[in-house]
Amino acid sequence: MKNIKIIGFDADDTLWVNEPFYQETEKKYQQLLSEYGSEEAIGKELFSTEMNNIELYGFGAKSFLLSMIETALKVSKQQISQCTIDKIINLGKELINSPMEVFENVEKVLSRLSKNYVLIVATKGDLLDQERKLRVSGLGKYFHHIEIMSDKQSENYAKLLAHLDVTPEEFLMIGNSVKSDILPVLELGGNVIHVPFHTTWAHEVVDKNDSIFNFPVVDNISQIIGMIFDETQN
């Protein structure tokens, strides 16, 4: 990690809580639709709608809300009440307005790293949502800018690095998703640190057999500092 110039941070579930709010929303949604199927069955249908829509809608809360409405019509065979659809829209709006819970030690880490590196947020969330979260979190001052990615596959990172004008060796990605933040960057020859979070969206879960790489993992984001500065001092 000697030559690092730019450090990319994933945002949701790396800097602040996100997935638990989605899961809470989904739980309420499943309860609203309980007469049309078990929580598990509704959840499965919703996930299937989301995956069908992902090419068209992409990631983020608005896509999730649209898929919730579509799934409600589908599982109810269009019997879902208009009032329930209205409640689903409100669930989506509440999700977008979720409270901000920055993880412990994040600010300390950003403050330290921003003295030596250019920090960016690299996320496939919605720009408006991520700008709002960055503002509310008070973390905006540590970042040079936000990079919105339509997906986080290795070709998306290749584009990002070209745009940032750095080589993979000069880039370090830090995030909670092995699938989105770690493997595609490793594939390009870039640097990574994995900061696991206890809750992972089904779409982000990696088959263990796919994960043939070794990469640094920290229990707590605060350990990053020692890891980067020890390495760079060698």
CA angle in degrees (0–180, nearest 5) for 101-103-109? 135
Task: Single out the segment in contact with a second copy by CB under 8 A; choices: 20-28, 127-135, 175-183, 215-223.
Answer: 127-135
**Candidates 6-14, 82-90, 99-107, 180-188 — which segment interacts with a second copy by CB under 8 A?**
82-90
Q: Which stretch binds a second copy (CB under 8 A): 7-15, 26-34, 147-155, 199-207?
A: 147-155
Residue with tokens 């999730």: 64
- Residue 92: closest CA among 60, 59, 53, 58: 60
Round to whole Å and give the CA distance between 91 and 29.
Answer: 8
Query: How far, in whole angstroms, is CA 218 from its chain's centroid?
Result: 18
* Residue 188 in the binding site for a second copy (CB under 8 A): no
H-run or E-run covering 129: helix 127-137
Phi, psi (degrees; rounded to nearest 5) at 53: -90, -5
Our finding on whether 83 is near a second copy (CB under 8 A) is yes
Distance CA 1, CA 92 (A): 41
141 touches a second copy by CB under 8 A: no
Binding test (CB under 8 A) with a second copy, winner from 2, 27, 93, 108: 93
In the complex, the smallest distance separating the C-beta of residue 82 from a second copy, rounded to whole angstroms, is 4
Binding site for a second copy (CB under 8 A): 56-58, 62-63, 65-66, 69-70, 73, 76, 78-83, 85-86, 89, 92-93, 96-97, 126-128, 131, 144-145, 148-150, 159, 162-163
